[in-house]
Amino acid sequence: MSQIPLLDLKAQYQTIREEVRQAVDKVLDGGRYILGPEVKALEEEVAAYCGVKHAIGVANGTDALVLALDAAGIGPGDEVITTPYTFFATAEAVSRLGATPVFVDIDPQTYNIDVKQIRAKINSKTKAIIPVHIFGQPADMEEIMAIAKEHNLFVLEDAAQAMGSEYKGRKIGSWGHAATFSFFPTKNLGGYGDGGMITTNDDELARKIRSLRVHGSNPESKYYNSMIGYNSRLDELQAAILRIKLRHLDSWNDARREKAALYDELLKDTPVVTPYHADDRKHIYHLYIIQAEDREQLVGHLKENGISTGVYYSIPLHQQEVYKSLAYEEGSLPTSEYMSKRTFALPLYAELSNENIHRIVDIIKSYYANK
């Protein structure tokens, strides 16, 4: 019985092997290894792709969040509204700057921050909102920007899972005052190591971030420091690899969407809940997430049959040990808590065969048939 992984990066590499090896050789022969021409070219290409003025390469997606919030002036005493249904880094970046994350429950269909519940959590300390386009599904950006305008808040899109997603015909990464991306290998646009990027149309914010990533020094005069910064640079090898992968991203995302549609169709008559897809958004299915009431048993049955799955997210952030002091009671964010017991990801990647999708669904059906 052959195994089906959740994601198969080796299969993807085989499709771009020659292009990548040539690009890597070019960097190694060129002698510039950090923040050189490849990073600059990738920044221009990502800015053009997202339709924004600036893109700034940094060391990873977590740093992208920290640097963007720092450049926006977020610090001790400030509150930042975000979702508890995300990877830990979203809230960690807020806490790392000495600010406090304020969690708003999620929408049960999109799993994104529930915009109807944001206003109730805004007070005089609130400085920013971080919507996360979770699993590749865009958050409700129009409403979020309207709320932010009313209250003069900074909006940072955490787009780590959403490079290529669109909301109302416009790319994710161009809606907020700034947006952050991760190039962690498993992301839709992933490198062969760590990497991250920030996009923005704000010249002053971009200038600050460019300085913060090199110790707060002036990039043109590097021993002159005006801010306490970071060492958070993107390297040339990753940038060269990412430039190649960016050229394939749309076709990979299209393949994911087609395969997601096949799953949707085949799972229609089963008890699992398939992903919601809003008409005004282009979902890129970073993960194909389903809900099952008896998740642990179903995941176990799939595993016994050679199918890998991933549980996202088993502990919502307001219930993490480290945030105990924020004192969210059990049941305070009920939709996040409910979903944390039910959702998980099925295998999905451009190279996954339709035959294997049929096999995975047959295994799910056999689980319910024998229950």
Ligand X SMILES: *Cc1c(COP(=O)(O)O)cnc(C)c1O
Q: By three-state DSSP, how is residue 231 classified? A: strand
Structure tokens at 91: 């809230």
Q: Which of 198, 194, 183 is nearest to 245 (CA)?
A: 183
Over the window 44 to 73, marking each residue x when it contacts ligand X by CB under 6 A and - when it does not, the resulting string is ----------------xxx-----------
**Is residue 89 within the footprint of ligand X (CB under 6 A)?**
yes
Minimum CB distance to ligand X smaller for 312 or for 367: 312
**Is residue 312 within the footprint of ligand X (CB under 6 A)?**
no
Binding region for ligand X (CB under 6 A) out of 13-21, 153-161, 241-249, 288-296 = 153-161
* CB of residue 190 to ligand X, shortest distance in Å: 9
Of residues 94-133, those binding ligand X (CB under 6 A)? 132
Examine the residue annotation and report whether 171 is marked as an active-site residue of this protein: no
Measured CA to CA, the distance from residue 271 to residue 292 in angstroms comes to: 7
Cα atoms in the Cβ-side hemisphere of radius 13 Å centred on 224: 4
**Is residue 291 within the footprint of ligand X (CB under 6 A)?**
no
User: How many residues of this chain interact with ligand X, rule: CB under 6 A?
Assistant: 15
* CB of residue 310 to ligand X, shortest distance in Å: 12
* CB of residue 90 to ligand X, shortest distance in Å: 5
Binding region for ligand X (CB under 6 A) out of 84-92, 112-120, 148-156, 348-356 = 84-92
**Is residue 138 within the footprint of ligand X (CB under 6 A)?**
no
Minimum CB distance to ligand X smaller for 83 or for 274: 83
**Is residue 164 within the footprint of ligand X (CB under 6 A)?**
no
* CB of residue 134 to ligand X, shortest distance in Å: 7
Q: Partners of 68 in the beta sheet?
A: none
**Is residue 200 within the footprint of ligand X (CB under 6 A)?**
no
Give, in order, the Cα–Cα distances in Å from 62 to each of 90, 109, 182, 198: 7, 26, 8, 11
Catalytic one of 121, 127, 168, 187: 187
Cα atoms in the Cβ-side hemisphere of radius 13 Å centred on 119: 7
Instruction: Give the H/E segment covering residue 205.
Output: helix 203-212
Q: Partners of 81 in the beta sheet?
A: 102, 129
**Is residue 137 within the footprint of ligand X (CB under 6 A)?**
no
Cα atoms in the Cβ-side hemisphere of radius 13 Å centred on 282: 16
Structure tokens at 126: 């609130």
Measured CA to CA, the distance from residue 324 to residue 304 in angstroms comes to: 36
* CB of residue 315 to ligand X, shortest distance in Å: 15
Measured CA to CA, the distance from residue 43 to residue 136 in angstroms comes to: 21
Structure tokens at 344: 């998980």
Minimum CB distance to ligand X smaller for 132 or for 361: 132
Q: Which of 318, 248, 260 is nearest to 290 (CA)?
A: 260
Q: Which of 200, 131, 193 is nearest to 162 (CA)?
A: 131
**Is residue 191 within the footprint of ligand X (CB under 6 A)?**
no
**Is residue 182 within the footprint of ligand X (CB under 6 A)?**
yes
Which ranges in 97-183 belong to alpha helices (H)? 141-151
Minimum CB distance to ligand X smaller for 132 or for 148: 132
Which residue among 35, 69, 130, 160 contacts ligand X (CB under 6 A)? 160
**Is residue 161 within the footprint of ligand X (CB under 6 A)?**
yes
* CB of residue 87 to ligand X, shortest distance in Å: 4
Structure tokens at 368: 């319910």
Residue nearest to ligand X (CB): 61
Per the listing, tokens 């809940």 go with 273
Residues forming the site for ligand X (CB under 6 A)? 60-62, 86-87, 89-90, 132, 158, 160-161, 182, 184, 194, 196
Just list the catalytic residues.
187
